[in-house]
Amino acid sequence: MTESAGWQWFAGIDWGGQHHQLCVVDQAGQRRQQFRVAHDVAGLSELDREMGRFGGRLPVAIERSGGLLVEHLQARGHLVYPVSPKVSARARERYKVASVKDDRFDAFVLADTLRHEHQHWRPLAAAGPDQGADA
């Protein structure tokens, strides 16, 4: 049995320069949490608290493969699945025809798409101790 077979929750984070939007869905695709946090230390602490409500490690889809938020998620033990903007845009089209920017909706699409597609995706490898700020 793979770890993903037992997942009860799937998270999506719509990354923003100033704020990030979190959405967590259950195995049936029902939204269980929507939350906006600032891109600062206090916001990351809020993110930890909100994600902590769903237990330990969560699979998280995000349109980034690096940066402070991704490193923070990995340091907390979450499995980060980077999603290309093209894949994200195509996924959004499955839910809505008009592509209007909506952070809450985009976070939901990332979470729900991860719920459907996680068996085909690979999480980012965790950074090793030799991959610090100089890498």
Quick: pLDDT tens for 44-56: 999 999 999 998 8
Question: Rounded to whole angstroms, how far apart are CA atoms 87 and 130?
Answer: 31
In a domain, 128, yes or no: no
In a domain, 60, yes or no: yes
Residue range 64-89: mean pLDDT, rounded: 91
In a domain, 134, yes or no: no
What pTM did the predictor assign? 0.86
In a domain, 127, yes or no: no
pLDDT averaged over the chain?
87
Q: Quote the Cα angle for 8-10-13, to 5°.
A: 160
In a domain, 132, yes or no: no
In a domain, 59, yes or no: yes
Residue range 109-122: mean pLDDT, rounded: 91
Q: What is the CATH number of the domain that holds 100?
A: 3.30.420.40
Please state whether 55 falls in left (phi above 0), alpha (psi between -120 and 50) or beta: left
In a domain, 40, yes or no: yes
Which pLDDT value is given to residue 95?
80
Amino acid at 93: E
Domain housing 13: 7-120
In a domain, 48, yes or no: yes
Half-sphere exposure of 59 (CA within 13 A, CB side): 27
Domain count within the chain: 1
| Residue 133, pLDDT above cutoff 50 | no
Report whether 6 contacts 26 (CB < 8 A): no
Report whether 78 contacts 24 (CB < 8 A): no
Residue range 69-97: mean pLDDT, rounded: 89
Report whether 107 contacts 12 (CB < 8 A): yes
Q: Among 9-13, 38-42, 68-72, 115-119, which stretch is predicted with the lowest mean pLDDT?
A: 115-119
